[in-house]
Amino acid sequence: MDLKNLLYAEIERMGAQNIRRKIIENPENSKHIIERLMENCIKSSDIISISPCELVSLAEALTHYMLTNMLLPSQRKIIVDGFELSIVIPNARSMNKKLNETLIVQFYTMNNLHLMSLVDKLITLQPLRQNIWIVSYLPIGNTIPIRNYVILYNKNLNNRLISPFSQLLVDIATYVKQINYSGFRIL
């Protein structure tokens, strides 16, 4: 079973309508849902061990699913200046018009680019470092002052830039509210 099928099987076990209802009711509920889905996917895959790279890919697929269900504006897997961005919020058009209101969420799988090359490219596309968030399996390091959402999160970390992956959607929802996005939404 591939990871996407595994994820959707776990979503069905949890109840897609139940998930949707809970996250629309309160975006904070996404934290628990993400934790549970990731945990269930890892347990379900005991037969096949999931590599850190595959876990990041699983996290990306889960993020896409949750963004859709939370009705949060985003564009996914888009090419800008020959570089594939994982997620742009609210959309790529905002990169040209309102860079200060554009958030890039990049999933770092460790096999796509050297980290510093990735960060350099992201900074050329979005010079506001606070608007670049990287999702990774392990923390990317203290030398890079960019927000980092970590799948294998250690609660003993004392760094305000490092958060558990389960916090990502709550922070995206807060970000969208802060920029007062009023674009087209499907209800």
Considering only residues 115 and 166, tell me which one the structure prediction assigns the higher pLDDT: 166
Percent of the chain with pLDDT over 70: 91
Question: 102-120 as b/e, with b when 16 or more CB fall inside 10 Å?
Answer: bbbbbbbbbeeeebeebbe
145 pLDDT tier (thresholds 50, 70, 90): confident
Q: Where are the beta strands (DSSP E) in the chain?
A: 75-80, 83-89, 103-107, 132-136, 147-150, 162-164
Task: Point out the least confidently predicted range of 32-36, 109-113, 129-133, 145-149.
Answer: 109-113
Residue with tokens 């490219």: 121
Q: What is the pLDDT of residue 122?
A: 93
- Residue 186 pLDDT grade (very low, low, confident, very high; cuts 50, 70, 90): very low
What kind of fold does domain 75-178 have according to CATH? Restriction Endonuclease (3.40.91)
Q: From residue 112, give the alpha-carbon distance in Å to each of 38, 70, 78, 165.
A: 22, 28, 15, 20
What one-letter code names the amino acid at 165? F
- Residue ranges of alpha helices (H) inside 107-156 are 115-125
Integer Cα distance of 41 and 55 in angstroms: 9
Count helices and strands in the chain by DSSP H and E runs: 7, 6
164 DSSP β-pair partners: 150
Residue 107, helix vs strand vs coil? strand
pLDDT of residue 170: 96
What is the domain partition of the chain in residue ranges? 3-51, 75-178
In this prediction, residue 187 has a pLDDT band, given cuts at 50, 70 and 90, of very low
Weakest-pLDDT range from 55-69, 107-121, 148-162: 107-121
The candidate with the shortest Cα–Cα distance to 169, out of 128, 122, 133, 123, is 133
Taking the alpha carbons at both ends of the chain, their separation in whole angstroms is 32
Tokens of 66: 């949750």
